[in-house]
Structure 1
Amino acid sequence: MRIGFIGAGKVAQAITKGLIDSGITAAENIIASSPKQDHLLLTQISKLGVGTTFNNKTVVKESDVVVVCTKPNVVSRVLTEFSSDVSKSHLIISVALGVTTKTMEKALPKNTRVVRVMPNTPALVRMSASVYCMGSSVIETDAETVSKLLTSFGYCEEISESLIDIATGLSGSGPAYVFTAIQSLADGAVKMGMPRDQALRLAAYAVMGSAKLVLESGQHPDSLKDDVCSPAGCTIYAMHLLEKRGFRAALIDAVEVATLRTKELGDFKV
């Protein structure tokens, strides 16, 4: 499978690394493009062994699957630019924030097969949480192809397009929330006297292990939290403080504003 990336930023690099590391395709079967002013991005992604070009049309001509990884406000222009090179054999995937399948289909030839995807950066370590929704002209095997690509670097689910902006605010932006939590937990330990590198490791493993326990135990997170909170113990004192500081409400608000901003970005026009 020949895969092309329009845009060579962090998301494209993360997905590319995941695809190569999983063996889903070889580096020589991947090509990425970027504007000349962003040539440093091509330099970075080329270190993975993939081909690079400044010409988007070249990417389309040399690929079976084209992944659009540009900013949302230029997606329509970019799609229109290479639309004449799109054939029935192409599958066009967009990871651009807020850009709907209808917007993609409008800019491309009639009956073009399009898919909207939202991965996240843990694709770099093959632990992405991705969601996708299918356009109106996909064929029977396209969902299988997309699932195969996404599961090569993590977990994926097909969802309704009406939910994909919410997923962006949750799992798309979620790593940033978690990275901040890990840093903050480590800062607390450093404040109390623990070396920085040790504090970061313990914080990261605490988060990773907790997530694994949620997924594998089948228990509700509140139940798992209660298991840690002994009567009059240190954890319940800490939880009381987090509740007073609005810990849960802050995370709920974060997902909400990220979702709304995703919708705003999708409404931008060229």
Structure 2
Amino acid sequence: MELSWFILTLLLTVYKSNGEIRQEPEIFANRSSTVTLTCEHDNSDHYRLFWYKQAKGTVDLSLMVFSASQNQANIEEPFKSQNSKYAATRPEIMMSTLQINKLDTKDSALYYCATSTHYPAYFGNGTKLTVLGKNIQKYPDVTITEPTLKILNTTRCKEKVTLVCVAENFYPDHVSIKWTLGDKEITEDVATDPYATKDENTKMFNISSRLKVSKKEFTPKNTFRCTVTFNNSTHVSEKTVYITGTGGISLDIS
């Protein structure tokens, strides 16, 4: 009985040590302006707090801020030496801010807040900061390529159709893609680019998503839809393309 109570207590302690970390999902800002990112969490035992930056196209995290307690937040190198570009506060144990001044397009990145007692640190979902390099917003052009047939298993002769949905020539790069069949979202056999790529000539972004469908499902009775959601900081819009087993393609814009 004592052992059971010990296990229960340990489980409760581990659950409490995690908690919830809240950050704004995304922020748009203009060049040369100032932005303030906010982090809030609900565990007063987590007296350590960190801010990390993940630059576009990388998986590396760079430590920007370390706070060991309330009213104390230190900017770490190499960010510390960048002429007061960054400032951090910790007015409460469960709240912190990160201010970034004189914004440039290089500041566009994911900024993560993390907290801990000792180890490990628990991360929030991050804030995606987009610094607008141009005074424009360009909605994406969306297409589905003609399906390609691929033999996945020659011994069992199972064939699958690969549908590729391409969103291109848009700015900024805040888009998401989903596939649906009827009213149901498709999540299996879907591979979407982890982030949009930038054309250095046009400065516009492109992204693609691929869906594998069994040949038996790719019939005139089934209509597969690719929906691209675009957020240009003032308006959220959607473009949907759809294709049936006959290969017909249509475009719906809302």
TM-score, structure 1 normalization: 0.27
> Which has the greater radius of gyration?
2
More helix by share: 1
TM-score, structure 2 normalization: 0.28
More strand by share: 2
Identify which of structures 1 and 2 has the higher relative contact order when contacts are C-alpha pairs closer than 8 Å and 6+ apart: 1
